[in-house]
């Protein structure tokens, strides 16, 4: 099954996550099919906290990809922010 989930990058105590489309059987840091955004939970000042390509996420979900719980929360918040 194809899953859209977070994969951690960044240094110790400086987490940075890529939102990736990957096979659910692959390990968390392994290869992915496509990167569809990023999430920076420790952003400061004018740094972008969250950037998602909603068109690509919609494309993959229409093909049967499942969102992880955390990514679903991020996408819902991002859609509300974009609508406002």
Over residues 49-73, the mean pLDDT reads 95
Segment among 19-33, 51-65, 67-81 with least mean pLDDT: 19-33
Domain span at 60: 2-83
Q: Output the pLDDT for position 68.
A: 95
Cβ atoms within 10 Å of 73's Cβ, excluding its own: 11
Q: Does residue 10 have a pLDDT over 80? A: yes
Its pTM stands at 0.89
pLDDT band, very low/low/confident/very high, at 21 (cuts 50, 70, 90): very high
Task: Report the CATH number that the domain containing residue 43 is assigned in CATH.
Answer: 3.30.1320.10
Q: How many structural domains compose the chain?
A: 1
């Amino acid at each position: 099954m194809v899953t859209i989930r977070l994969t951690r990058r960044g240094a110790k105590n400086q987490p940075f996550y890529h939102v990736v489309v990957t096979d659910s059987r692959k390990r968390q840091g392994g290869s992915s099919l496509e990167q569809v955004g990023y999430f920076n939970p420790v952003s400061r000042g004018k740094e972008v906290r969250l950037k998602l390509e909603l068109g690509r996420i919609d494309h993959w979900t229409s093909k049967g990809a499942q969102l992880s719980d955390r990514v679903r929360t991020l996408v819902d918040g991002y859609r509300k922010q974009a609508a406002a």
